[in-house]
Amino acid sequence: MADPKNTRGAPPREVHIEKKKINWLAWILLALGILAALLALSRCGRHDAVVVAPTPTATPTTATPPVAVKQVVLPGGKTIDLQPQTLNYDLQAFLASAAAAPRTFTFNKLNFDTASATIRADDQPTLSALSQILAAYPKAVVRLVGYADARGSDAANAKLGADRAAAVAKALTAT
């Protein structure tokens, strides 16, 4: 049957409809962007308990200034050397004062390896001094809270933070 619009006797034209190709790269990039945004939002409000010490920039010929240490007399007459502006110094000054409680103190030098609740040997002196301070104030009530960084699930990080607090409590009561 002849096409009624084809009046010149030309052969009928074929129409080829090509299936539209999907630009997968754009969809993949969009999905990656959404995942990155969700990951960034999930990390909001989390606390990182691991403190990375700055790399010393002094050259070998440059001497670093000595750290100021103050000798503090604890109740009962025992003396202890404490560095100002540290947890131990500030806590001892608070306990010796008549300041209202409660008050929050944060360790400025107590680090854990990633995914670990084991106390490093470098941190033992800090905990030893803290143990001596707390022993000098037997009526002091202390609550330890441990944190973890944002690596891992929320449940694993909550357990790791609790394990870290328990490790500190054990170290404080061991001496």
pLDDT in tens, 44-98: 443 333 333 343 444 445 555 667 889 999 999 999 999 998 989 999 999 999 8
Determine, yes or no, domain membership for 106: yes
Determine, yes or no, domain membership for 80: yes
Give pLDDT, residue 55: 35
Determine, yes or no, domain membership for 32: no
Indicate the pLDDT class of residue 13, thresholds 50, 70 and 90: confident
Determine, yes or no, domain membership for 136: yes
Cβ atoms of 92 and 84 within 8 Å: the answer is no
Residue 162's SS3 state is: helix
Domain count, the chain: 1
pLDDT above 90: residue 166: yes
Determine, yes or no, domain membership for 49: no
Give pLDDT, residue 57: 42
Tell me the mean pLDDT in the region 125-142: 92
List, for residues 100-126, the tens digit of each pLDDT value: 888 898 888 788 888 999 999 999 999
Domain that holds residue 101: 70-174
Determine, yes or no, domain membership for 114: yes
Q: Measure CA of the first residue to CA of the last residue in the chain; give whole Å.
A: 105
CATH of the domain at 93: 3.30.1330.60
Determine, yes or no, domain membership for 3: no
Determine, yes or no, domain membership for 8: no
The whole-model pTM stands at 0.59
